[in-house]
Amino acid sequence: MGTAVTVEIRDRVAPRRALERAFDWLRWVDRTFSTYDAESEVSRLNAGDLALADAHPLVRRVLERCEVLRAGTDGYFDARAPLRGGLDPSGLVKGWAVDVAFAGLRRAGARRLCIEAGGDVRVAGGPWRIGIRNPRRREHLAAVVVLRSGAVATSGAYERGPHVVDPHTGRPPAGTLSVTMIDRTLAQADAHATAAFAMGPRGPAWSARLTAMTILADDEVLLTPTFLRYRA
């Protein structure tokens, strides 16, 4: 998925077979949903070599969930409007894949667990202190939050460039450096962070009802009331 994934288990005994299964799962997701691998199902759907009805059931399920998110974000989370054109559900897939791996490790007995994927995290058995990177200075933190369980995801252009676009204009959003969301699952946090970032100036008003931190282009930091509860 174009990023590194780290699993930390602080229990006395780690479920090693479950760890192997978790990484096998993440590799399968990468092979199936990659937009860079011409043989992946997503690439074959884009090329017209695979009909949606013939795609893996999990591919269809993810795309259905993307449609639900599109409707719930005024179209700002749109798996069919990436910068390159074509189908790209990456804004949901990474978080969803981590959530599934996380659930498998929990069933195997992991209690104090953290999975980090490209700066986004899902945790349980805390407290866990989670640093949120400063979008202007890589070596500095913009904030630290404390979670017992849940997920933190950040969307911005400072790490991978302008890979998020406003689906309504086809252009990268302006006015916002990053949006961080806290939610129960990483899929939900990641998708909402992506949508709020794509909204540009509209993002803070839309995310006011969520647990969010928005850093604007003028370095102003906006925190929702629920986000304040988690600040270290």
Predicted confidence (pLDDT) per residue in 85-112, tens digit = 689 998 899 999 999 999 999 999 999 9
Please give the Cα distance from 199 to 184 (Å, whole number): 22
The one-character DSSP state at 54 is: G
Residue type, 104: G
Mean pLDDT of all residues belonging to the chain: 92
DSSP bridge partners of 9: 113
pTM, to two decimals: 0.92
Percent of the chain with pLDDT over 70: 96
Please give the Cα distance from 126 to 123 (Å, whole number): 7
The domain made up of 5-228 has a fold known as T-fold (3.10.520)
Is residue 58 packed enough to be buried (19+ CB in 10 Å), middle (13-18) or exposed (0-12)?
middle
Supply the DSSP string of 80-121, one letter for each residue: T--TTSS---HHHHHHHHHHHHHHHHHHTT--SEEEEETTEE
